[in-house]
Amino acid sequence: MNQIIAGARKALTRFTALIIMLFSSVVLFAQDDTKKVDVNINAKSDGGFLNNPVVWIIGGAVFILLLVALMRNNSKSTS
């Protein structure tokens, strides 16, 4: 009896995988690839605040502080 249930479950799993693959391929083929990509590059722009090195230094310092705090908290809980 258990072999019948296991076989039915295996068949249902395969059928479900087949249906999922079928629908995913239908969705992928339904994509519209006739649209043109319009890229507007403005070379005279300052690029925003992310080009400022101070932002990267402060962000790196905050990341390192968070990493140290998490590692210190982890080492105290295992002792």
- Torsion angles phi and psi, residue 27, rounded to 5: -65, -40
Given pLDDT bands bounded at 50, 70 and 90, which one contains residue 74?
low
Give, in order, the Cα–Cα distances in Å from 75 to each of 19, 36, 50, 64, 66. 48, 54, 34, 16, 14
More confident residue, 37 or 14: 14
Please write the tens of the pLDDT for every residue from 16-47.
999 999 999 888 877 766 777 778 777 776 76
